[in-house]
């Protein structure tokens, strides 16, 4: 049952990443002027994207809880709680909507990250495919995860008044910075420095936390 649940959960996550990632790219391509007004810029497409992704995070959190996977997936629950609270504040106030769309560019990176996990779970002997994906995944991680995160962190520190909603979102960003760097170090150890990936031998991949492997 645990393996079947994880397959289904990852496939839903993969579908969300494809749709939300392409949606975020389209929103910024269609309205590039939004990038000049991160705090008060607004588009209907971006607003709907934030609503859609908020719904996914709520669905995934409930799926984890009701499937009794909270213990092995607690990091996902923490991440989702941060995302849901931040996105709900944006939906209510209508401010920082462009920042949310920029953050959702991460879903482009998640396409390859989730595909990597599906390959590991499938146990299909495809070393060439896995190797190609791990390099593409690394490039996408830099472009669509690290770069927007660094830019938004700099922007909030430099331009946003750190009080009220600005302070709440800035705190969320800093916590997300720490999580992203932690996940990045795990990814490098697992895919590029396997000798440093201590304790990986003999692991049952299906029983581990998603973000360890």
Tokens of 128: 């060439």
Rounded CA-CA distance 117/112 in Å is: 9
Q: Do 82 and 175 form a contact (C-beta atoms < 8 A)?
A: yes
Give the chain's end-to-end CA distance (angstroms, integer): 20
Residue 207 has pLDDT above 50, yes or no: no
Query: What HEC string does 39-81 produce?
Result: CCCCCHHHHHHHHHHHHHHHHHHHHHHHCCCCCCCHHHHHHHH
Mean confidence (pLDDT) of the chain: 89
Residue 1 has pLDDT above 90, yes or no: no
- Reported as type and span, the H/E element at residue 211 is none
Instruction: Give the count of beta carbons closer than 10 Å to the beta carbon of residue 104.
Output: 27
pLDDT (0 to 100) of residue 115: 94
Q: Do 76 and 6 form a contact (C-beta atoms < 8 A)?
A: no
pLDDT (0 to 100) of residue 193: 84
Instruction: Give the count of beta carbons closer than 10 Å to the beta carbon of residue 22.
Output: 13
**Which position has the higher pLDDT, 129 or 206?**
129
Q: Do 30 and 113 form a contact (C-beta atoms < 8 A)?
A: no
- Residue range 187-192: average pLDDT? 89
In the chain, where the domains are located: 1-29+40-190
Instruction: Give the count of beta carbons closer than 10 Å to the beta carbon of residue 80.
Output: 20
**Which position has the higher pLDDT, 152 or 2?**
152
Confidence of residue 201 (pLDDT cuts 50, 70, 90): very low
Rounded CA-CA distance 172/183 in Å is: 16
pLDDT (0 to 100) of residue 99: 95
- Residue range 12-33: average pLDDT? 96
Please give the model's pTM, rounded to 2 decimal places: 0.87
pLDDT (0 to 100) of residue 125: 66
pLDDT (0 to 100) of residue 198: 54
* Residues sharing a CB contact under 8 Å with residue 78, sequence separation 6 or more, in sequence order: 179
Residue 156 has pLDDT above 50, yes or no: yes
pLDDT (0 to 100) of residue 122: 85
């Amino acid at each position: 049952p645990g393996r079947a649940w994880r397959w289904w959960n990852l496939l839903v996550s993969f579908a969300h990443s494809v749709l939300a990632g392409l949606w975020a790219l389209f929103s910024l391509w269609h309205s590039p002027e939004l990038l000049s007004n991160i705090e008060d810029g607004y588009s209907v497409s971006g607003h709907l994207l934030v609503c859609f992704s908020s719904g996914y995070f709520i669905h995934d959190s409930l799926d984890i809880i009701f499937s009794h996977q909270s213990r092995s997936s607690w990091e996902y629950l923490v991440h989702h709680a941060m995302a849901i609270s931040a996105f709900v504040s944006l939906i209510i106030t209508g401010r920082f909507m462009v920042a949310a769309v920029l953050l959702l560019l991460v879903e482009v990176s998640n396409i390859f990250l989730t595909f990597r996990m599906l390959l590991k779970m499938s146990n299909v002997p495809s070393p060439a495919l896995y190797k190609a994906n791990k390099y593409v995944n690394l490039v996408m991680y830099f472009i669509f995860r690290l770069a927007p995160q660094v830019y938004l962190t700099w922007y909030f520190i430099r331009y946003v008044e750190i009080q009220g909603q600005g302070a709440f979102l800035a705190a969320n960003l800093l916590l997300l910075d720490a999580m992203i760097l932690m996940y990045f170090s795990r990814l490098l150890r697992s895919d590029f420095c396997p000798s440093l990936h201590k304790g990986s031998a003999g692991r049952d991949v299906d029983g581990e936390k998603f973000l360890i492997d």
